């Protein structure tokens, strides 16, 4: 299977290790992974802040870069949801790029593993106590359900502990955190208290944007809790 990695802006700029983990994991599972160097932002932040035309141009560029692959895998529920949910609304049927958008097969990592590759045990080993935060786009946009936790439960040595009020937003919300910093910080404070109550060593999620937000508060509180993307745990073997 010819797979393209859509790394996303946040990962490419701040969390390159996540992209490397995805490549390592997928190759271990027999996928032929490519990284199209012409990829750019998916346009989510443009559209969310009112720059619709800029978002349309980026959507059309995305189809040019990623068209022709058997699957496009993104380690981000947020960006995968943007492509799947918003692109068909941005680019009207019959206009340039619309047909190509319909042909795109874009998946968040956990749904690609479970729904396409049909695996939930990826041969990972991670002997630590972990709790999982289901990010809003992965939970409400992509409806991933228990796919990420199914994968985590199969990791050898890993103890998965439940997170109280897991389905509550962490307060990041992209530009929401910029426009409403006080509310965002209060929401993150609630999330961090619940994380600390689990006694977990590691907080895991499928979006580094949310992990970055929560992780900042965890570090400022000197909690000792690490943040790790789902891909990094699934790629671990020793």
Q: Are 34 and 97 in a shared domain?
A: yes
**Alpha carbon distance 137, 169 (integer Å):** 10
Does the residue 122 lie in any domain?
no
pLDDT tens track for 116-158: 999 999 999 999 999 999 999 899 989 999 999 999 999 999 9
CATH of the domain at 69: 3.40.50
Q: Are 32 and 112 in a shared domain?
A: yes
Greater model confidence, 224 or 141: 224
In whole numbers, what is the pLDDT of the chain averaged over residues? Answer: 94
Does the residue 200 lie in any domain?
yes
Among candidate residues 55, 81, 116, the one where a domain is terminated: 116
- Helix (H) or strand (E) segment spanning residue 61: helix 52-66
Q: Are 135 and 225 in a shared domain?
A: yes
Does the residue 198 lie in any domain?
yes
Q: Which is nearest to 147 in space by CA: 94, 187, 110?
A: 110
What order do you get walking across the sheet with 202-205 strand by strand?
159-161, 129-132, 202-205, 226-229
Does the residue 124 lie in any domain?
no
Does the residue 92 lie in any domain?
yes
For residue 58, count CB atoms less than 10 angstroms from its CB and return exposed for 0-12, middle for 13-18, buried for 19 or more: buried
**Above 90 in pLDDT, residue 238?**
no
pLDDT tens track for 1-11: 899 999 999 99
Among candidate residues 83, 116, 149, the one where a domain is terminated: 116
pLDDT of residue 235: 98
pLDDT of residue 167: 93
User: In this structure, are residues 162 and 131 in contact, taking their beta carbons and an 8 Å threshold?
Assistant: yes
For residue 172, count CB atoms less than 10 angstroms from its CB and return exposed for 0-12, middle for 13-18, buried for 19 or more: buried
Does the residue 121 lie in any domain?
no
Domain of residue 197, residue span:
129-235
Does the residue 123 lie in any domain?
no
Q: Are 7 and 108 in a shared domain?
A: yes
User: In this structure, are residues 108 and 206 in contact, taking their beta carbons and an 8 Å threshold?
Assistant: yes
Query: How many domains, the chain?
Result: 2
Name the E strands within the chain. 2-5, 32-34, 71-74, 106-108, 129-132, 159-161, 202-205, 226-229
Concatenating the DSSP letter of every residue in 195-211 gives HHHHT-SEEEES-HHHH
Q: Are 67 and 163 in a shared domain?
A: no
Does the residue 71 lie in any domain?
yes
pLDDT confidence tier of residue 227, bands split at 50, 70 and 90: very high
Q: Are 109 and 146 in a shared domain?
A: no
Q: Are 72 and 147 in a shared domain?
A: no
Q: Are 83 and 139 in a shared domain?
A: no
> Strand, coil or helix: what is 55?
helix
User: In this structure, are residues 86 and 44 in contact, taking their beta carbons and an 8 Å threshold?
Assistant: yes
User: In this structure, are residues 226 and 200 in contact, taking their beta carbons and an 8 Å threshold?
Assistant: no
pLDDT of residue 80: 95
Read off the tokens for 28.
């271990």
Report the range of poorest mean pLDDT among 91-105, 111-125, 183-197: 91-105
Q: Are 144 and 109 in a shared domain?
A: no
Among candidate residues 116, 147, 182, the one where a domain is terminated: 116
Instruction: Please compute the mean of the pLDDT values over residues 91-113 and round it to a whole number.
Output: 92
**Alpha carbon distance 36, 106 (integer Å):** 14
pLDDT tens track for 19-69: 999 999 999 999 999 999 999 999 998 998 889 999 999 999 999 999 989
pLDDT of residue 73: 98
> Strand, coil or helix: what is 160?
strand
Q: Are 11 and 77 in a shared domain?
A: yes
Q: Are 158 and 77 in a shared domain?
A: no
Number of C-beta neighbours around residue 2 at 10 A: 11
Q: Are 109 and 133 in a shared domain?
A: no
**Among residues of the chain, what percentage have pLDDT more than 90?**
87
């Amino acid at each position: 299977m010819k797979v393209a990695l859509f790394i996303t802006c946040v990962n490419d700029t701040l969390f390159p290790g996540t992209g490397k983990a995805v490549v390592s994991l997928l190759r271990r599972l027999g996928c032929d992974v490519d990284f199209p160097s012409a990829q750019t932002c998916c346009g989510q932040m443009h559209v969310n802040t009112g720059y619709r035309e800029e978002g349309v141009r980026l959507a059309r560029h995305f189809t040019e870069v990623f068209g022709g692959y058997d699957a496009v895998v993104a380690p981000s529920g947020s960006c995968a949801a943007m492509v799947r949910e918003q692109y068909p609304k941005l680019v009207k049927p019959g206009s340039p790029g619309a047909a190509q958008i319909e042909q795109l097969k874009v998946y968040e990592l956990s749904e690609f593993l479970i729904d396409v590759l049909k695996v939930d045990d990826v041969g990972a080993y991670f002997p630590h106590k972990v709790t999982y935060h289901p990010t809003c786009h992965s939970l409400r946009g992509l409806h991933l359900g228990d796919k990420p936790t199914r994968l985590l439960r199969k990791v050898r040595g890993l103890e998965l502990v439940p997170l109280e009020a897991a389905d509550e937003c962490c307060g990041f919300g992209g530009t929401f955190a910029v426009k409403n910093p006080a509310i965002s910080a209060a929401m993150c404070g609630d999330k961090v208290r619940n994380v600390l109550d689990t006694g977990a060593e590691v907080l895991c999620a499928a979006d580094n944007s949310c992990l970055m937000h929560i992780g900042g508060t965890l570090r400022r509180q000197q909690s000792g809790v690490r943040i790790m993307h789902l891909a990094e745990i699934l790629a671990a073997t020793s």
